[in-house]
Structures are given as structure tokens and as C-alpha cells.
A and B are shown apart, each in its own frame.
Chain A
């Protein structure tokens, strides 16, 4: 098992602005954002809809460009998508014309690895997420939870240094969600990549992360940072604190 090959790298966000203009009206989504994520750290971004957390994630992924400021991953400025970062979306985004195995092979194809190599790594990743038996099934033949497992396997195919997750489990029912959270925690230990998780769920954020970053306001800014406590009473207090900040 090629565990812990993808040692996570640090993310530095400095003076980040993101603006959209639509029909002359300017919409400032993020303004002067400063955020440092340590190598190997598991950080959750939490906030209400429209606070810019998904935008921040896509900026780190390189799918969008900053209006001002910079994002550095492992000391290099982000200018576009790269194999060092992968993103997992809420709606799985599996290619319906590919089987589970072929989906996991996709990023390896893009990275230019050989046919046998792709097959071997993809099988191994499917095994890691517990889906070796479903390798030849198409997405439409998999349950939502299984599809998201394939999504995770695909994201880990190229040993990314940064794993970005945009509300990956919000479509799942409670039991499935439980299993997926457990899997994500295991994967973080095993692959040792840096993880940035965007979520709506305070419990999910507190349970999984080393640090919870609360975003709020318009334009979005960081209103608090919380390091989840192992102590039950402290954790309950933290939960209340974050909920209060979110205005729940």
C-alpha cells in the first residue's frame, strides 16, 4: 500500500479579494482574506450560504482566479488546477459513461501514467474506499453514498497534497453520512494530505477537523477560528459558540 506518499503541503492565502460583476453591479464575495493552513492539517470552512466558502475552495483549486491577493500552495502561487490539489463536489460529478474503476482512472490518464499503472492504482484506491466489488459498475448503478466513495477514490488517485471537499456529504442520509465521515477521517490519516472541508454541519466540522474556520458577513471574512476540544463539555460549548456566530 502506497500509504502516506502524498505528504500534505501548506496553503497561504494573502489579501485575497474575489469580486464578480454582473450587469454593471459589483458583487464582492471575499475581501482581504488572510488564512494559513498548515501542512497535513484538516481545516473545515463553515458559514451560511453565500459567505464565499465554496468560492474560496474553488480559488484554492485553481478553478477560479482571485481579483486581488494571492494563494500559495507549498510555496508556489496557484495559477490554475494542478495534480497537487483535487476537489470533491457535493453532487459526486462522476462521469456517467465510465465505470467506477474508469472514473478513478481519469485523473491518472490526465497525469499521463501508463495503462497498467492506472489500472493498478485505481483498483487499489477503490479497495481503500471499500468498493473493489463495484469496480465495473456505472455511476447510475451505484447508491449516492457509493458514488461519493468513488468520488473520494478518484480524488486520491494522484496522491494529492491538498484534498478539497465542497459539502461532500450533504446529499447523504444520516447513516450513510456517518460512514463517509469515518472514511474521510481514515483517509486523512492514511494519505496524510492537507484537507479543506466546506460544510454546513457544525457537528461534522467539530468531529473531523483540527481547526474550524467560521466565515461570515458579506463580503465574507473570517469571524472566528475554533480548535475542537476532546473534552465533551468543551466541545458542547464550542458547538454553541459556532452556532451563535452563524446566527442559528
Chain B
């Protein structure tokens, strides 16, 4: 029987290989003029642009403001979504009453609401954070409700037989029982936060990575535009990885 898992030393290589291949292909299509290199800057032009925004410090100031907005919005939405979701999930009547509305709100594309947020909160940080909250709160809420409602009935029964009632049953059994589902919702929410924030920044902001992508494009500094896009990819991957590590650290019992 062949071992279906790659050896440990091979793993990082296998992870890196497709990325290297992609960059090579990217370079190739511009070299052979398959795509106009002024429209799709080759990696050899993007790398210096990346160096420039990094060494000037511009990148870190924009990254800071983007992450701050996404982080604040995410944190508010996460706390609200989990707290309200646990309450709703535990009380069936409330669940039946609230879930359809949450489902409708979730289906609304957040970007379509940006004009409304701008009207209500003005251009700037507040409307962008509001959009992040909107985008994150519904998936977090719905997965929390689902998790709280689907806690293993046997565990509830066992806990009741050991004298757990009311608040303690909730805090010690229902909440940890719902955690795997809550974590799924939070991970989804984290990726939405970045996605929606960058879109919002492209439309109505004067700083942040999304704004820089748009600005570079408007001033026809195409390599710089791609440099910022590369940064977004790296940040997205890094955040997701950090979340995975954090969850494993905090909840070692969760199924991988």
C-alpha cells in the first residue's frame, strides 16, 4: 500500500510549487506578448513597485488603517453575532421569528448598501466599518444560531441528569457544544471582512489598500496596482493561517 500522505519535507515544496508555477506563467504571457505588458505588468515590474511601497513605508500605513477598520468591524460583529445568536438558538420561538430576517439580510450584497451607509454615516471610516459589520454579523449570527440549536441532545440529557439547569446548562454545555459551528462562522466572517472592506475602500476612502489599488489604477501606475493586489493575497492567506493556528491552540479538541 502506498502512503497517501506526502512526506513532511515535501509539504512546503508542494505548497510553494503551484505558486512559483503561476508566477512563471504570469511572466511568460507578458514576455511573449500574449498580453500587453502595460496592462498586465510582469512580475519583474511588480517586484520593484512592491519594494518601493514597502521601503517608503506607505504600505504599512495603509495596511494599518485597513486592518484597523476590518478588525474593529469584525470584532463588533463577532461579539454581537455570537451573543445574540446564542440567545436566539436556545429559544426556539425566537429562532423561528428571527432566522428568516437574518437570512434575507445575509443575501443582500453589502456593497449595494454602501450608498445607504454613506448617506447615514457620511464618507469615511464610519461607513466602512458599518459595512464590515453588516457583512460579518449575518454569517456569524446564523452559524451561531445553527450551532446552539444543534447541540447534541445526548449531551444535554447527560448534563441535566448530573444536575445542570438553566444558566449553567447553557454556559457549560450549550455554548461549548455550539463552538465548532461558531468558529466556522467566525472564519467565514473574517474573510468577508477583508473582502468587503477593500471593496468599500475602492469607492469611498482616502487611505487603505483598496484605495491604493484604485488610486494606482487611476494614475496609470499599473505595476503599483498589481503590487497592492499581491499584498492583498498575502494578507488574506496570512490571516486565514493565523486563524487556523489560533483555533487549534484554543480548542485542541475540535475536529480538524
Contacts and interface: CB of A to CB of B under 8 A. Distances in A.
A151 to B, nearest CB: 9
A96 interface: yes
B166 to A, nearest CB: 11
B160 A63 contact: yes
A98 B177 CA distance: 11
Contacts of B154: 89, 91, 93
B157 A106 contact: no
Contacts of B158: 87, 89, 93
Interface stretch (B13-21, B127-135, B247-255): B247-255
B59 interface: no
A179 B155 CA distance: 25
Contacts of A98: 253
Interface residues of A, number: 26
Contacts of A82: 163
B161 A63 contact: yes
A194 to B, nearest CB: 16
A97 B157 contact: no
A246 to B, nearest CB: 26
Given A97-B176, A110-B164, A140 B157 contact: no
B112 interface: no
Interface of B: 152, 154-155, 157-164, 168, 172-173, 176-177, 179, 251-253, 255
7 contacts: A85-B161, A89-B154, A93-B152, A93-B154, A93-B158, A96-B253, A139-B253
A154 B173 CA distance: 16
A96 B159 CA distance: 13
Interface of A: 61-63, 81-83, 85-87, 89, 91, 93, 95-98, 106-107, 109-111, 138-140, 154, 158
B162 A81 contact: yes
A82 B252 CA distance: 32
A165 to B, nearest CB: 12
B168 to A, nearest CB: 7
B157 A93 contact: yes
Contacts of B173: 95
A106 B159 contact: yes
A125 B146 CA distance: 36
B161 A110 contact: no
B155 A93 contact: yes
Of the listed residues B152, B159, B161, the one surrounded by the most CB atoms of chain A closer than 10 A to its CB is B161
A87 B157 CA distance: 10
Contacts of A91: 154
A109 B162 CA distance: 10
B161 A86 contact: yes
B255 A81 contact: no
Q: Give the 5 A-B residue pairs with the shortest CB-CB distance, closest first.
A: A93-B158, A110-B163, A107-B162, A97-B176, A138-B253
A111 B161 CA distance: 12
Contacts of A83: 162-163
A81 B252 contact: no
A61 B168 CA distance: 19
A81 B253 contact: no
Contacts of A111: 163
Nearest to B159: A106
A110 B157 contact: no
A95 B155 contact: yes
A62 B154 CA distance: 15
Contact of B157 (A63, A139, A154): A63
Contact of A81 (B161, B168, B177): B161
A81 B160 contact: yes
B176 A95 contact: yes
A212 B154 CA distance: 27
A97 B179 CA distance: 9
A227 to B, nearest CB: 29
Nearest to B176: A97
A97 to B, nearest CB: 4
B162 A86 contact: yes
A140 B255 contact: yes
Contacts of B255: 140
A110 B152 CA distance: 19
Given A95-B173, A138-B252, A140-B255, A110 B155 contact: no
Contacts of A61: 161
Given A81-B163, A106-B159, A111-B163, 16 more contacts: A61-B161, A62-B161, A82-B163, A86-B162, A87-B161, A89-B154, A91-B154, A93-B158, A97-B177, A97-B179, A97-B253, A106-B164, A106-B172, A107-B163, A110-B162, A138-B253
